[in-house]
Chain A
Amino acid sequence: MTTHTDVLVLGGGSTGCGIARDLAMRGLEVTLVERGNLTEGTTGRMHGLLHSGGRYAVSDQASAIECIEENEILREIAGHCVEATGGLFVQRPEDSDAYFQEKLEGCRECNIPARVLSGREAREIEPYLADDVKRAIEVPDAAVDPFRLCVANAVDAETHGARIETHAEVVDLLRDGDDIYGVKVRHESGPGKRNHTVAGTIEEITADYVVNATGAWAGQIGDMADLEIAVRPSKGVMTIMNVRQVDTVINRCRPKGDADIIVPHETTAILGTTDEEVSDPDDYPEAQWEVDQMIDTLSELVPILSEARTIRSFWGVRPLYEPPGTGTTDPTDITRDFFLLDHAERDGVSGMSSIVGGKLTTYRAMAEEIADHVCDKLGVRASCATADEPLPGSETIETLEAGMDDFGLRSPVARRSKQRLGSRASEVLETDAANPVICQCEGVTRAEIQDAISQSGTDLNAVRIRTRASMGNCQGGFCCQNMANELHPEYDEETVRAALDELFQERWKGERHALWGEQLSQAMLNYALHATTMNRDRDPASESSDLEYDAFDSGQQTPQRRADGGN
């Protein structure tokens, strides 16, 4: 099977989806292929900070300026993905006054609104800050939902005619002499929406131009065509707390260091992070000390964290890059800027560029630059509209909020649904059918789950990232089953069972790093519910041998027993 497209984008993270949207809006025919789910690489594994630029205001002012510009754009075009929490750079007594001053001046030089607060003023905003916090700088940091943002880009790209293929792994680059003309992908099922029981296929996709937006995996793609792309993947841990101890992004005001940020995110707070170079972005150690360090170090800023309930931890891999010969040893010092590698110029191989480095906050600007580059290559004259056109869900939020009823939902559920869906809320939630809550922790109703299934098929992790179902305290123990139930009858029982097993195992993966205290008790309850009550660990339907039902108790033959059939 061979298909052709104008532009082929490799990678379904924020960069790839941003590029696909940009090019599709410019009228090009675009296909995007992603090895796993959208966001599965780095995008879905970050702390959810929409940078004000304050973090880079001393060390990397070019990045800082780009951050504040994009921060302001995303609040406009992706309002339903952004929570304007504000941020604080907090100084403890042992932190340097000189650096505090440098940070403040740096913010002002980069046009980042910044205001100094006394320790008392900072604690009025965030009462759980430590008593000895000296002062703070207030900046317009925000929380962003990377899943929602990335999916909104993909959905809008599709609306503009793009083809988005998830679970489609690139197995080879097609190269003819010094020209790359496409890829060979292996569809896990399909092509099309994921369906666990449909057999996979191999497809050749040829394109006039290929964009390698696989981030930390860009080197692996390059290897397929003997191109050296020296990405330096760097891992960082993020630890999720069960409630929001803070409502403002809290940064430690010091030059650099691990465990220096807390980002409030939906019902949770995310602690981050570390920075350590790894050789393989798919295989690196996830260590206990990293989780302990998050809690212990950040407790210096917010002491109640030391006693709080952690629900899971996860690791992400930054796609860091620096030009050959720079030779930075500490990954913390590698620039966060992005690089467009035109392989025609660099390696004498035409037909493909790679994009490496960068960060979520500036994904749109990166996408714009690459789309300009691609248009230039293809001789297309079209201008970028992504900074002005709102993403689906962010159109006319204000009028919507004012005029919309609550779709018969209890108020916290309705409020949270509207936050997630933005202007798509009425389209998704207006239903005549019963609309019970499927995920109690996050307040996700059937209509929202069904909307996600219609986008992503049997992949319940894709449903999860779209809705947040199974991402709360119970980590899916109580709702995985109900989410899977929603796949039926569109998908058959065997498919539903496979989808449920996959989601349940994925949830466990992150919970393992939070297994003490309340969350260990929760894990035992989840295990008991799934193994004891449902016997999902030893399900005879999944065993190879047949059960001898005759040998077991068939009940007492009592006179009350009715065998006369209905009616």
Chain B
Amino acid sequence: MAIEDDVLVIGGGLAGATAALAAAEQDVQVRLITHKQSTLRHASGLIDVLGYTPEGDGPLVDPFDALADLPDGHPYERVGAEAVREALSFFDDVAGEAYAGAHTDANALVPTHGGTVKPTARYPASTAAGLASDDRDALLVGFETLPDFEAPLAGAHLEAAGVPFSARGVTLSFPGIVRDDAKVTRYAHLLDQNESVSTGAGETGAREALAAAVEAHLEDESRVGFPAILGDDHAAEVRADLADALGVDVFEVPMGPPSLPGLRLEDLLYEALEDAGVRVTSGVPVVEYETGADGDRIDHVVVDRTGSKLPHRADQYVLATGGLVGKGVRSERERVYEPLFDCHVPHAADRYDWFVDDVFGDQPYARFGLRVDRELRPLTADDEPEFSNLRAAGAVLSGYDFAAEKSGGGVSLATGYVAGTRAGEEGGE
């Protein structure tokens, strides 16, 4: 006996959630199993498709133009350009008004918290008014207790990057923040709840107090950028209130971990999973698996729930456990491996060949992962599918350097979408 589903997705990041949602479109019973916190909390919340070619050309205006020239084995080459478009369109439907960028094939250049710009294909609505190709002048607001975003420096950096507008930065004290080491979620909560805070003008709501603090510094800019802390559950409302009070557009600059736009994207995906009837089992690791009699198919996997071993059986499996960061790919001094099914991970035998000396050089370790066929089935060293009913999606794949290419989100969407769709089709047969 085992807990039975048609499709079992292992891994709860962008690729896993997309795979589960795509599979659920096929009218099959889908389960998503996650272990640790997903890496979305590390991610900026932007959905990059392709910002630079593997050779480093770019930033690319049109990522779709470049898809045809990608080398063999690149995840986009595996699934094909049309699947990339379908996956993006699928994401657009899931995200709805929370994301923008679907109106054009062109990449957007989004200001980073370091102050340069990066190419991306979809961006949270909270970032939409901040695009660098929008020529309106911007005021950037940083806070003295948030050292990750030094607004005057970011403004100067944007100008050094040649943006077609003036970017001025100011550093303020955040009304209602009393600790120097408050977490970003504390700022967001303060604004979400519009907590009452003390200012020179007496007690007011946090949003009003923040707007008043900014207004004193606003000159003729028609948009104001903040670090990405403007609310969590009520982010749109917080932004609208600030915009109304200031009479200008308000946007967020994506930040590093812990990233509120990443966490909001995670919330959005898990609401969609619930709506789609996907069963989500979180906080449990998959610890072992059994194959069927012929060894060709995975029969079931076993999860560890506080010491108890629970079998889960499905017809089709999707592995979306992430790369080195998400621990879907692990390493020891002598080897790099995929820990659940021990799928083949190509790598040099000598670990001093896993890197190059320039920190931003062409890093072999950044490409560690599974080779797959066009069905996204992981391949053995002899180019045979490891299992006939296992597909892989997202950062667990090899053949691309998402950080250099700016292609992480897009690859997770495209491969998650294809792996999930195929698994759903076969799982329903």
A, B from the same assembly: yes
Judge if B201 is at the interface, Cβ distance under 8 Å.
no
Of the listed stretches A126-134, A257-265, A552-560, chain B binds A552-560
> Do the beta carbons of B173 and A541 come within 8 Å of each other?
no
Chain A residue contacts of B100, Cβ below 8 A? 555-556
Q: Which residue of A lies closest to B356 (CB)?
A: A512
Residues in A whose Cβ lies below 8 Å from that of B116: 534-536, 539-541
User: Please, which residues of chain B bring their CB within 8 A of the CB of A121?
Assistant: none
How many inter-chain residue pairs (CB < 8 Å) link A and B? 249
Given A516-B331, A524-B365: A434 in contact with B61 (beta carbons within 8 A): no
Residues on A with beta carbons closer than 8 Å to the beta carbon of B135 = 549, 554
Q: Which of A481-524 contact B (CB under 8 A)?
A: 481-482, 485-486, 488-489, 492-494, 496-497, 504-505, 508-509, 512, 515-517, 520-521, 523-524
Q: A496-B153, A556-B103 given as contacts; is B247 within 8 A of A532 (CB)?
A: no
Does A561 count as interface, using CB distance less than 8 angstroms? yes
Among A485, A493, A552, A553, the most chain B Cβ lie within 10 Å of the Cβ of A553
Give the distance in Å from the alpha carbon of A261 to the alpha carbon of B278 in the complex.
55
Q: A489-B152, A553-B133, A555-B128 are in contact. Are A541 and B109 (CB under 8 A)?
A: no
Whether B180 pairs with A436 at a CB distance below 8 angstroms is yes
With the chains together, A435 CA to B257 CA distance in Å?
20
A333: Cβ under 8 A from any B Cβ:
no
Max count, chain B CB within 10 A of own CB: residue among A413, A508, A555: A555
Could you say which residues of chain A place their CB within 8 Å of the CB of B76?
Answer: none
Is there contact, CB below 8 Å, between A535 and B152?
Answer: no
Tell me whether B360 and A485 are in contact (CB under 8 A).
Answer: no
Residue B243 at the chain A interface, CB threshold 8 Å: yes
Q: Does A533 contact B (CB under 8 A)?
A: yes
A327 contacts partner chain B, Cβ-Cβ < 8 Å: no
Tell me the B79-113 residues at the A interface (CB within 8 Å).
100-101, 103-104, 106-109, 112-113
Q: Are A547 and B162 in contact (CB under 8 A)?
A: yes
* Residues 356-374 (chain B) with a chain A CB within 8 angstroms: 357-360, 363, 365-366
Instruction: Let me know if A529 is at the binding interface, CB within 8 A.
Output: yes
The reply on A433 being an interface residue by CB < 8 A is yes
Instruction: Spot the interface stretch: B347-355, B381-389, B417-425.
Output: B347-355
**Closest A-chain residue to B251, C-beta based?**
A555
B279 contacts A by Cβ under 8 Å: no
Q: How far is the CB of B192 from chain A (nearest CB, A)?
A: 21
Complex-state Cα separation, A434 to B330, whole angstroms: 40
- Tell whether, in the assembled complex, residue A516 and residue B333 are in contact, meaning their CB atoms are under 8 Å apart: yes
Which of A288, A436, A560 has the largest number of chain B CB atoms within 10 A? A436
Return the chain A residue nearest B223 by Cβ: A562
Of B42, B133, B222, B366, the contact of A566 (CB 8 Å cutoff): B222
Contact B222 A535 (CB under 8 A): no
* CB <8 Å contact, A521 and B355: no
CA distance A534 to B257 in the complex (A): 12
Interface locus among B17-25, B286-294, B401-409: B401-409
- In the complex, which residues of chain B have a beta carbon less than 8 angstroms from the beta carbon of A523? 324, 355, 365
Q: Which residues of chain A come closer than 8 Å to B59, judged between CB atoms?
A: 538, 540, 547, 552
Please determine whether B351 and A566 come into contact, CB atoms closer than 8 angstroms: no
Kindly identify, within residues 388 to 429 of chain B, every residue whose CB is under 8 Å from any CB belonging to chain A. Answer: 402-404, 406, 408
Contact: B42 with A528, CB < 8 Å?
yes
Q: Distance (Å) between the CB of B88 and the closest chain A CB?
A: 14
Query: Contact check: which of A292, A446, A504, A564 meets B333 at CB < 8 Å?
Result: A292
Nearest Cβ in chain B — how far from A424, in angstroms? 20
Given contacts A486-B147, A533-B118, A563-B222, 7 further A-B contacts (CB under 8 A): A524-B365, A534-B118, A538-B58, A540-B116, A541-B160, A549-B162, A553-B131
- Write 17 A-B pairs (CB below 8 A) sorted by A numbering: A434-B145, A436-B181, A438-B147, A485-B148, A489-B153, A493-B157, A508-B359, A517-B331, A528-B402, A533-B113, A539-B116, A539-B161, A549-B164, A555-B131, A556-B128, A564-B248, A566-B248
Interface residues of A (CB under 8 A from B): 288, 292, 295, 408-410, 413, 433-438, 445-446, 478, 481-482, 485-486, 488-489, 492-494, 496-497, 504-505, 508-509, 512, 515-517, 520-521, 523-525, 527-541, 546-556, 560-567
Give the 4 A-B CB pairs with smallest separation, nearest first.
Answer: A535-B118, A566-B218, A531-B403, A493-B156
Residues on B close to A: CB < 8 A?
A: 42-44, 48, 51-52, 56, 58-59, 61, 100-101, 103-104, 106-109, 112-119, 128-129, 131-136, 144-148, 150, 152-153, 156-157, 160-164, 173, 180-181, 215, 218-223, 243, 246-249, 254-257, 323-325, 327, 330-333, 350-352, 354-355, 357-360, 363, 365-366, 402-404, 406, 408
